[in-house]
């Protein structure tokens, strides 16, 4: 069983603050690392697919970095807004065929107005 961990499990930030959280995954057999944003009662939304060591991706105020050698990815949110409140889920893909995708437990973010 692959170990994909996310930290912290939950956090509260004030509106306007920037924040970041971590996804840790095995450093071997890496194919891709996915980040999803999941609001309660809605479908998870794909944010990033990261494949290369050193990758940095950005979508609006959200960005992510990838270190495959040490097995971690950071997700950053700049200037958090209440609408950013959601669970952020990472998924480690070791085969490229989705047969071996392992999800983390998620980081639940609450942005306080």
Query: Would you tell me which residues interact with other proteins (CB under 8 A)?
Result: 4, 34, 36, 38, 41-44, 46, 49, 89, 98-99, 101-105
Please identify, using beta-carbon distances, which residue of 58 and 69 lies nearer to other proteins. Answer: 58
Task: Provide the minimum distance between the beta carbon of 18 and other proteins in the complex, in angstroms, as a whole number.
Answer: 27
- Which of residues 75 and 80 has its CB atom nearest to other proteins in the complex? 75
DSSP E strands in 8-85: the ranges are 10-14, 19-24, 32-38, 45-50, 56-59, 62-67, 72-77
List 36's β-bridge partners, or say none.
46, 89
């Amino acid at each position: 069983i692959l170990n994909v961990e996310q930290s912290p499990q939950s956090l509260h930030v004030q509106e306007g603050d920037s924040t970041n959280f971590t996804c840790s995954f095995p450093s071997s057999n890496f194919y891709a690392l996915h980040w999803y944003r999941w609001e309660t009662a809605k479908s998870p939304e794909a944010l990033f697919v990261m494949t290369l060591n050193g990758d940095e991706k950005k979508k609006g105020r959200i960005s992510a970095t990838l270190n495959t050698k040490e097995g971690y990815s950071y997700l950053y949110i700049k200037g958090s807004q209440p609408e950013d409140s959601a669970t952020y889920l990472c998924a480690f893909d070791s085969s490229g065929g989705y047969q071996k995708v392992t999800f983390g437990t998620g980081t639940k973010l609450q942005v306080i107005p």
